[in-house]
Amino acid sequence: MKITFEGETIDDIIKQMDRMVDDLAAAVNTIPASPRKAPAPAALTAAEIFEAPVDKPVDVPAEKTKRERTEKQKANDEKLRIAALAKKKTPEPVKAAPAPAPKKAAPKPPPPPVEEPEEDDEEEIDPKDLIALQTKTLEDLQAAYANGYQKEVFELLSRFGDGAKSFRELPSTAFPAIREAIDNGALT
């Protein structure tokens, strides 16, 4: 619920609030205490009263069960308190200080780089010869793929084609090595 008051000064607002509180107090006093009236008990005859079925008597009064619960709770609290005191009184075993970690040996310096003689693995191939070699190699790879050598073709592509998965991904520099592998029997 939201109630707002408007006024030119704080006194106006306080007067409005007081009036509202007074009106609410008056309204509460005019409301009957119980909107529902309990039905009047029917007049029973003495015969009806003595012949009425008797419910099972309550074995344990509510006060006793409450008292038992508090006694059980007190006993449980006492057990917990004794256990806490016993735990407090028993000295904890002294833990040995952790052994110092063994000192690591100084890392070995990396081995000096081995100078390899430069080799001319690939000779310069004439662009016309490279195109002819590329065409012939592609034809052989496609024929091998069509004849059931898919595994071998993909192995050649990935090994010599820098992980290529299709013919289009092959760089032109990979074809001489693939051609050499085919000539050495890689597709048979």
Q: Break the chain into its structural domains and give their ranges.
A: 127-183
Q: What's the rounded Cα separation, in Å, for the pair 164 and 157?
A: 5
pLDDT in tens, 158-181: 888 777 778 788 888 888 888 888
pLDDT in tens, 3-35: 888 889 999 999 998 998 898 888 777 766 555
pLDDT of 87 above 70: yes
Higher local confidence (pLDDT), 151 or 47: 151
pLDDT of residue 100: 66
Contact 124, 130 (CB under 8 A): no
Contact 181, 160 (CB under 8 A): yes
Can you state the angle between helices 150-160 and 175-183, rounded to 10 degrees? 140
Q: What's the rounded Cα separation, in Å, for the pair 153 and 142?
A: 8
Contacts made by residues 166-170, CB under 8 angstroms, sequence distance 24+: 167/138, 167/141, 167/142
* Three-state DSSP state, 117: coil
pLDDT in tens, 120-143: 555 677 888 888 988 998 899 889
| 71-81 mean pLDDT | 84
